[in-house]
Structure 1
Amino acid sequence: MNLEKKLEKIEKQLDEMSKSRFPYSDPRIFGLQNPAASGDEIDLRELWDALWNGKWIIIGITFLFAIASVIFALSLPNIYKSEALLAPAEENSGGGLSRMAGCLGGLASLAGVDLVGAKADKTTIAVEILKSREFISKFVRKHKILIPLMAVKGWDRTQDTLIIDNNIYDEKSRKWVRAPKPPREAEPSALEAYEKFINLMSISVDENTGLVNLSVEHYSPYLAKEWVDLLILDINEEIKSRDVAEANKSIAFLSGQLEKTALAELKVVFYELIEEQTKTVMFAKVRDEYVFKTIDDAVVPELKVKPRRAFLVIAITFLGGVLGLVVVLIRYLIGGGRER
């Protein structure tokens, strides 16, 4: 019994010591209530009630956004994509520096010149030329596509005609009437045409197979297909003309060196080089698909690639619902809506 009394006495002393050491541990000293019931924190049930009371605001805003999204999606014109699959043409004959590297490789190595390393992949060069400002600007001028490129806002399927934006180009007076910011003028510049066309054109190269996919997007599926065909034709002609010009210069240079030398061995080398350059010129003239061979021709697309109207409607409607929730929460927090 004495032991029990001692234990009780020790417990009382410990309890008194804890109260004396932590006098502010009891929130009732200052009349504080339970923190969970404090007004500084948001009650989830109260928040739910606020959202429920504002349900018609949320539904109304969501409905308005849904209607607007449908109108907006239907107002967007269809965009069609035509594409062709190309393969690098076989190198039956090279041009200029590459052939000189093959015949003079030994002499060049003795002189410390790496002609083989100077050879560039013709497919890579052709792809970069296709994406260049000079080529595209020349393409736009050559085929007179500035108006369908810069002033079209749609395509009439029933009549197969382009819909011209009268705020950009006046068909009656045949004048550009847009009002761009200086220094740009009413008629689009070559740089503007390039920026527009490069966004419509897409080029991808498969690193494993070397195949090239070339595509063009436009309001008119027929025009998209036509531009792909013209791009393939023009890039083959461009590379061909460059190689022919290079080969002719090489022939002229080698012929001059041939007349100057008296060594029989060098004359043999020069004759071989002239023969190779002559083959290059002949090969270029008889072959249309000079750098790219068409594996799968471009066709007139039947289905649009843009816009994704269903996705737009869902996304804009969802945005409207989120905006409705935000409006109700703002009214609840700072609009005097925290009713008790």
Structure 2
Amino acid sequence: MEKQHKTEEQEINLLELLHVVVKRKMLIFKICGLAIVTSVIYSLLLPNIYSSTARVLPPQKEGGGGLSALLGQAGGLAAFAASGGVTGGSDLYVGILKSRSVSDAVIRRPDISPGFFGKTQEEARNLVSSAVRIQAGKDGIISITAEDKDAKRSALLANAFVKELGETTVRLNLSKASTERIFLEKRLNMVKNDLQAAEDALKAFSQANKVVQVDAQAKASIEGIARLKGELASKEVQLAVIRTKQTEESPDVKATVSAIKQLKGELEAISGSGGNGGGIPSLGNVPGVSLEYTRKLRELKTQEAVFEQLTKQYEVAKINEAKDSSSFQVLDEAVVPMKKSGPKRSQIVMTSAIVALFISLVAIFIQESMSRMCDDDRKLLESIKRLAFCLK
């Protein structure tokens, strides 16, 4: 019975807890009041923060119609060039926005740089990184949110990132387009000279030999060889362009090399002396003067086919270089915010009050527990204090 009585006394009594709270309510009021006053003063001293957001939509994949279909008719390299440029998804554009080059360009802008006066480049870069949030939503739209003590400056900062994104993508695309255009221009000039030489050679041979009329089968053979050589030249130029961007192990390089080998095989079959041209006699069977005339006419047709292919591709390269390569769309420009986004002063005060209430409750229960300690426990506590503060 005595043991059961002691157990009941040790059970927690809610009324006793309430009694302790009421008994020491002044300590609770003092701690909570001090915390509330301190948090109010602190929150009032904090500067207002303003947020401004700009939203951009990355370029979407183009369909098969319109300009893409037209460029597809210009040959393999034309279609390859038309598909170039910075046209990745949202992650690519987020990566560009977070790059060091874009941040440095924003910092150097005349309307932004005065805010970083006296700061090193690294310090300014860190401030920009902490002040600007860049994220892509599930819908693919990229949000650029800038925070600053100045409402106008927050909008300037967000819009500066949008402008630098556009300039960076245009610069990257134009660099690629210019490389392709210069390469094709050099190749086209070489083909022009070869075409002129072929025309002059055929003209001189015809005048010297009172040219004979080539029969229909020889013409078919010539036209077939010219077409194949035109396609071969186009594939070789395409391979040269691809090799400037990819390794020999890439699928595009391997596929193009395979296509070139196949075209060369067809050329050997149709222009050899075995006569296996499928109803069209090989050029080795055309006798005498007609043979030489056929060869020169074949060279002329070949150069014309190559010239036609390269001209189409050159025009595509000029179009790509001239057009605006940055095709992302600005959905919302950042505007000057009318209301602050922070600090949330009421939330700061409420959080401080809740924390202070919890601390005060712990404190009064500790005090109550110490006041009810027996003499032996008090002596033990004093001994613990002496040991704790003793240096030896």
Residue in 2 that maps onto 1:79? 49
Work out the CA distance in 2 between the residues paired with 1:193 and 1:132. Answer: 14
Q: Specify which of 103, 110, 121 is matched with residue 88 of structure 2.
A: 121
Q: Deviations over 1:173-214 (max 9, x none)?
A: xxx4xxxxxxxxxx4332x32332122222333433x43332
Q: Deviations over 1:86-117 (max 9, x none)?
A: 3346789xxxxx99x96898689xxxx9x979
| 1:36 maps onto 2:7 in alignment | yes
| 1:52 maps onto 2:22 in alignment | yes
Identity, % of aligned positions: 24
Higher alpha-carbon deviation: 125-134 or 307-316: 125-134
Larger Rg: 2
Give the number of equivalent residue pairs.
Answer: 257
Cα-Cα RMSD: 3.6
Q: Would you say the 8 A contact 1:103–1:269 is kept in 2?
A: no
| 1:229 maps onto 2:229 in alignment | no
Higher alpha-carbon deviation: 55-64 or 251-260: 251-260
Where 2:323 maps in the other structure, the secondary structure is: helix
Residues 78-117 of structure 1 aligned to structure 2 (within 5 Å): 78-88=48-58
Where 1:48 maps in the other structure, the secondary structure is: helix
Segments of 4+ moved more than 6 angstroms:
115-119
AA partner of residue 87 (structure 1): L
Residue in 2 that maps onto 1:220? 150
Q: Which ranges of structure 2 fall in alignment gaps of 5 or more residues?
A: 63-67, 195-229, 231-302, 375-392
Q: Would you say the 8 A contact 1:105–1:116 is kept in 2?
A: no
| 1:195 maps onto 2:195 in alignment | no
Q: Deviations over 1:240-281 (max 9, x none)?
A: 111111111111222334455664444433322221221122
Q: Which ranges of structure 1 fall in alignment gaps of 5 or more residues?
A: 1-27, 93-97, 152-175, 177-186
Work out the CA distance in 2 between the residues paired with 1:144 and 1:42. Answer: 66
**Deviation of residue 51 (structure 1)?**
2.2
Q: Would you say the 8 A contact 1:103–1:273 is kept in 2?
A: no
Work out the CA distance in 1 between the residues paired with 2:127 and 2:167. Answer: 23
Q: Specify which of 291, 311, 317 is matched with residue 327 of structure 2.
A: 291
Residues 5-44 of structure 1 aligned to structure 2 (within 5 Å): 28=1, 32-39=3-10, 41-44=11-14
Higher alpha-carbon deviation: 80-89 or 294-303: 80-89
Work out the CA distance in 1 between the residues paired with 2:47 and 2:103. Answer: 25
Going from structure 1 to structure 2, the CA distance change for 1:292 and 1:146 (only over 3 Å counts) comes to: same
Q: Specify which of 234, 244, 247 is matched with residue 174 of structure 2.
A: 244
**Hey, which of these two has a bigger chunk of helix by percent?**
2
Going from structure 1 to structure 2, the CA distance change for 1:291 and 1:106 (only over 3 Å counts) comes to: closer
**Deviation of residue 233 (structure 1)?**
1.9
Work out the CA distance in 1 between the residues paired with 2:365 and 2:29. Answer: 14
Residue in 1 that maps onto 2:371? 336
**Deviation of residue 302 (structure 1)?**
0.5
Q: Deviations over 1:26-74 (max 9, x none)?
A: xx5xx534243345x5444333322222111111100111111111111
**Deviation of residue 137 (structure 1)?**
1.9
